[in-house]
Structure 1
Amino acid sequence: MIQSESAIARFIQLFVQRSSGESIPEQVSQFADPFISADPNGTRCVRVDDFAAALPRRKLLFDRLGCKPAVLVSLHETQLDARYVLAKTTWRFDFARANSGEAGQVLADSTFLIDTGEEEFKIVMYMTHQDVMQVLRDRGILQS
């Protein structure tokens, strides 16, 4: 886990903590409403309510695949101006598939655009650099 004292590092560490928790409202509280989601398949504007509705399905899938909570491997901050910070991250996902006893590890890169202009920072753009579901299929972790 990354150890840093910057405000962005603390914000991302809180994101890590909340992402592995059970509280959907806490998980989505760090996102602007709406926010931009981008991945290799395109870009879309996402309402926080829609995001909150999708999170339980994602958690069920990752639980079924034996995924442990994601570990933040790296964080690189770039101050874009007085208000916005770009945070490039790398995450490690460890999977222990119950049906085969086989373990798998996946590294995934993502970038956050964080609005620091208010007292409570908000993620205004979240970009995953890989199609995570396709990576899981390619690695044999997720069956098509």
Structure 2
Amino acid sequence: MIQSETAIARFFRLFAQKNSEESIPAQVSQFADPFISVDPHGTRCVRLDDFAAALPKRKVLFDRLGCKPAVLVSLDETQLDARYVLAKTTWRFDFSRANSGEAEQVLADSTFLVDTGKEEFRIVMYMAHQDIMQVLRDRGILQG
């Protein structure tokens, strides 16, 4: 976990904690409504209701694949102005292979634009640098 005690580091420590919990409201609480989602397939505007509806499906899939909660392994923050911070992150996903019991690590890079203008920071843009599902297929963790 990141050792820095900046406000953004605390925000992402809380973000990682909330993402390991079962509470969908806790997970979506750190995102603006709507927020921008960017990945190798393009850009879209995501409403929190739609995001909240998708999260349980992702959790079921990742649980089935033996994934432990993601761990934040790096955070590089850039203050863009008085209100916005760009946070480049790397996350480690640990998958336990059902057939062998062996663990496999997958690293995923992502970038967040965080609005720090209010007491409760909000993610206004999330960029996944890889198609995580394709990475899992390429590594043989996800079939099909």
TM band (smaller chain): over 0.9
* CA displacement, residues 14-34 of structure 1 (integer Å, 9 cap, x when unaligned): 000000001000000000000
Q: What is the 5 A alignment of 1:73-92?
A: 73-92=73-92
Determine the structure 2 residue equivalent to 1:49.
49
Shift of 1:7: 0.4
Determine the structure 2 residue equivalent to 1:29.
29
SS in structure 1 at match of 2:52: helix
Determine the structure 2 residue equivalent to 1:128.
128
Q: Partners of 1:44 and 1:55 in 2: how far apart?
A: 16
SS in structure 2 at match of 1:77: strand
Q: Partners of 1:104 and 1:3 in 2: how far apart?
A: 24
Determine the structure 1 residue equivalent to 2:62.
62
Determine the structure 1 residue equivalent to 2:72.
72
- Amino acid aligned to 2:122: K
Q: Partners of 1:39 and 1:100 in 2: how far apart?
A: 32
Shift of 1:81: 0.5
Shift of 1:135: 0.2
Query: RMSD of aligned C-alpha atoms?
Result: 0.7
- Equivalenced residue count is 144
TM score, norm. by length of structure 2: 0.98
Flag structure 2 segments of 5+ consecutive residues without an equivalent.
none
Q: Partners of 1:121 and 1:103 in 2: how far apart?
A: 34
Determine the structure 2 residue equivalent to 1:3.
3
SS in structure 2 at match of 1:98: coil
Shift of 1:126: 0.4
Percent identity over paired residues: 85
SS in structure 2 at match of 1:16: helix
